[in-house]
Chains A and B, each alone.
Chain A
Amino acid sequence: MGRLAVYLTRLGAVVLGLFLLTSFMNAEVNAAPKVSGELIIGFGAESNVLDVTKAAAGVDWYYDQQFYEMLIQADPKLERKNWLAESWTLGQEGGNPVIDVKLRKGVKLHNGDTCVAKDWVYCYERMKDPKISKWSHYQAAVDRLEVIDDYHFKIHFKKPDATYIPGGLRLYGISKAYFDKVGDDGVQNHPVGTGPWKFVSRNIKEDLKLEAFDQYWNKTQRPGVKNLTIKVIPEDMTRVAAFKTGEIDWIDAVPPAMITDVKAMKGVQTVSLLSGNNLFLQFNTHMPNSPFKDVRVRLAAAYAIDMDGIIKSVLFGQGERYASVGKGTLGYDPKLKPYEYNPEKAKKLLVQAGYPNGFDIPFYNLITPREPNIKEYGEAVAAYLTAAGIRCKIEGLEYAPWIAMGARQDPPDMDGIVSWMWGHGVVGDPGSPWAGYLHCYKEGTGWGSYSYWCDPEFDKLLEQSQDTMDPVKREVLLKKIGRLKFEKVAGGLDTYRPLVTFAWRTDKVTYTPWPGAYYRELREIGLKKK
């Protein structure tokens, strides 16, 4: 018996030792790979605010997307994936929609805290407050967030909002404790989130320094370099020059005219991706005598423009045509093809509409390069329209007066054609943009805030699609609206979606484009292993 006890004790010790050893080995295997090294890259623009709850312009997400994450995010295949939400379901409670969210466990924030339900409630409280968030209207349909436990909460809606789910559930993983500790100014100076990159330092108008977050929850899709410096180089040629000299190894927004040159560089790879923006021409159909009230005139404009030629020659191929809704956007209908270039048909339509000699019209053209060569694109469009008989008197506008021109007032300022844009997003949804420029203008509501189109049939369908949170049913509605929009050239004439090109050195950099922040999400950028 004594010898048996000794034997069992020794056996137990061996088993325990093996168990401990394998546990340790598993921990090593499960731990994130250690990364080292530094990479210096160049952006053409920088974010203004680093507090994601105060983000205003799209450019703010260039930096914010490195630190912050959402419950649902799109992957490189443009598929929406559960991200900080482990799962979510859409249901009904008391006749109103409710989204039940279960959080991914163990997600660490950069300050060491764990992101839990109360942090999401805090984010919601900030983002619904118009004194804090510029996007508070996106929380207007939400009634409250209900915390069930640390990893479970519900979003209760007071009315449906179909754009909430495509918007990634419109909340970000932030730390309430950190906000309480350092205040808004502290967060602006040193943001903390759950993202793959930690903030190190920032010099406004110079650079942003980041460090890979070693406790990042996602062990496979993460940075491959320890330190990342983003240099801010707004001038296109200078940014390309810096890339050529090797001062930076990755750049965004290669200017269209230089893409061929950059592609020809040895050891350089480029990729051109949709930027998420949608450009179109707005026609004033409101003035009593406006020629654009007649669908034949709008169709004439559609046939008058050789958009493929403009994309090829003016935009250096950096654009993709679309009809109402682009590929990859909810509501995309592959059967809808953009109008062909047919100037003779355009002239005939004008004659049928009662304009055998054409007519003169103001053309408001944006000259600030919000997209590459946008001024030249507008001028080319105006030239084609003029050749067909819609004689455009071009007035170039900088960004601020252009926005003021387009914003809908009563009576409206815009009395002709304006070259306009309103992005559906990279993983797109036309809901919010169409609410802004396809719905009738309703003062005080936000509907039609930039609209020069009014048709009750569209209003009914748009409001119905806004209330339909079921994605399958909603897609049917959006396709219907898209087809009507195309046939009537309603809400303006869709022209193209810009492409943005990125370049990097293949001997030094590994990079997988992620669609967040208009493809400035640097989740999977790293140094090539030698």
Chain B
Amino acid sequence: MLKYLLSRLLQGVVCIIGASVIIFVASRVSGDVTLLLLPPDATPEQQRIMRHELGLDKPYVVQYLLFAGRAVRGDFGKSYRWQTSALKLVLDRFPATIQLAVCALVFSVVVALFFGVLSAVYQGSWFDSFGKVFALLGQAMPGFWVGLMFILFFAVKLGLLPAFGRGGLKHLILPAVTLGWYSVAAQTRMVRSAMLDVLDSDYIQTARGVGVPRWILIWKYALRNAAIPLVTMLGVYFAAMLGGSFIIETIFAWPGVGRTVVEAIFARDYPVVQAGVLFTSIFFVLSNLLVDLAYGFIDPRIRYVR
């Protein structure tokens, strides 16, 4: 187990270094940031001074090594636009994105389990059809449109929920549902398909035969095995929600890191882009590792040995 952990962590470090190189190169080749930071009538001398102040007149390799050397000490430099620590800017906003992504994931998993299990149990019924349609709607409709429609209906029309911003539970409902709905379809199909296989298996038939109550049979014995494929994919879905949060954060004025990093990309605010992408990479690597470990917990047959 320890060997497995160390091996996965080492892979994660290589992945993060790779991500840092890619994002560094991509941001540098995107163009001259001084054109965006200075007014249009700034002189070439001002541009030269700014490039020097920001260290952008050094060779790319030198710039990367300086950046990497500072990054391992947690120093990603100052945001060109916000004039504040780039890492702090990202970290201050990260909890909001994590909160949104976790709630979206919980929503999608709960709904997927509900529809997936019952669709399998009542295969071919109206409920099965309804579940499929509900899930597909989430996948078919673009997230930004769904979010706006939710705002117009639940906030403006009904006045039940706030239209924007971060606050208590009420503020979380619309953005979390909007973000999570997209992956409900795939998760529901996965759970339904796995449940159908499991419900036909011998041990379930045996349990049924010895009189185990139906709902315990389904929700305790069958679901545990049917959930394995879903758990495997949770890391991927979570990463997708983290990455796709930018649109939802913009629609709902949610002060998350997705919006911060995307806006930094447009503004060529390199320190914020680098801090945001690297931190997200680290988070993604660790969350995938946790998912793999959870996999072993759900299915004890899985062993992390050579």
Query: Is the CB of A484 closer than 8 A to any CB of chain B?
Result: no
- CB pair B53–A449 under 8 Å, yes or no, is no
Binds B, one of A151-159, A232-240, A298-306, A374-382: A232-240
- CB pair A446–B42 under 8 Å, yes or no, is yes
Mask: chain A, 427-444; 1 = CB below 8 Å from B; 0 = not: 000001101100000011
Mask: chain B, 142-168; 1 = CB below 8 Å from A; 0 = not: 000000100110011001001111100
For the side of the interface on A, what is the size category?
A: 35 or more
CA distance A399 to B148 in the complex (A): 25
- For A241, the chain B residues whose CB sits under 8 A away are 151-152, 155-156, 163-164
- CB pair B43–A445 under 8 Å, yes or no, is yes
Mask: chain B, 252-292; 1 = CB below 8 Å from A; 0 = not: 11010001100000111000000000000000000000000
- CB pair A49–B82 under 8 Å, yes or no, is yes
- CB pair B166–A137 under 8 Å, yes or no, is no
Query: Is the CB of B46 closer than 8 A to any CB of chain A?
Result: yes
- CB pair B39–A56 under 8 Å, yes or no, is yes
CB distance from A132 to the nearest CB of B (A): 10
Partner of A137, one of B42, B81, B162: B42
Query: Is the CB of A371 closer than 8 A to any CB of chain B?
Result: no
- CB pair A238–B82 under 8 Å, yes or no, is no
Query: Is the CB of A203 closer than 8 A to any CB of chain B?
Result: yes
Q: A231-B164, A238-B163, A244-B156 are in contact. Are A203 and B255 (CB under 8 A)?
A: yes
Q: Which residue of A lies closest to B31 (CB)?
A: A404
Partner of B41, one of A48, A443, A449: A449
CA distance A404 to B30 in the complex (A): 10
Interface residues of A in 116-132 (CB under 8 A from B): 130-131
Query: Is the CB of A400 closer than 8 A to any CB of chain B?
Result: yes
- CB pair B156–A245 under 8 Å, yes or no, is yes
- CB pair A398–B266 under 8 Å, yes or no, is yes
Query: Is the CB of B84 closer than 8 A to any CB of chain A?
Result: yes
Query: Is the CB of B37 closer than 8 A to any CB of chain A?
Result: yes
- CB pair B259–A205 under 8 Å, yes or no, is yes
Interface residues of B in 66-88 (CB under 8 A from A): 81-84
- CB pair B42–A449 under 8 Å, yes or no, is yes
- CB pair A435–B41 under 8 Å, yes or no, is yes
- For A244, the chain B residues whose CB sits under 8 A away are 156
CA distance A239 to B36 in the complex (A): 27
Partner of B49, one of A131, A203, A400: A131
Q: Which residue of A lies closest to B267 (CB)?
A: A400
- CB pair B81–A48 under 8 Å, yes or no, is yes
- CB pair A134–B37 under 8 Å, yes or no, is yes
CA distance A185 to B79 in the complex (A): 12
Query: Is the CB of A457 closer than 8 A to any CB of chain B?
Result: no
CA distance A400 to B31 in the complex (A): 8
- CB pair A188–B155 under 8 Å, yes or no, is no
Report which A residues bind B (CB closer than 8 A). Answer: 48-49, 51, 54, 56, 130-131, 134-137, 184-185, 188, 203-206, 231-235, 237-239, 241-242, 244-245, 247, 368, 398-401, 403-404, 407, 422, 432-433, 435-436, 443-446, 449-450
Question: Closest 8 interchain pairs by CB?
Answer: A446-B43, A205-B255, A241-B163, A48-B81, A242-B163, A233-B253, A206-B255, A130-B49
Task: Given A134-B39, A241-B156, A407-B40, output 18 extra A-B contacts at Cβ < 8 Å.
Answer: A48-B82, A56-B39, A130-B49, A134-B46, A188-B83, A204-B92, A205-B253, A205-B259, A206-B166, A238-B163, A242-B163, A244-B156, A368-B266, A398-B266, A399-B266, A400-B30, A400-B268, A403-B36
24 A-B pairs within 8 Å (CB atoms) are namely A56-B37, A56-B81, A130-B46, A131-B53, A134-B37, A134-B39, A185-B84, A188-B84, A203-B255, A204-B93, A205-B253, A205-B255, A206-B166, A206-B255, A234-B253, A235-B250, A235-B252, A237-B152, A244-B156, A404-B31, A404-B32, A432-B41, A435-B41, A449-B40
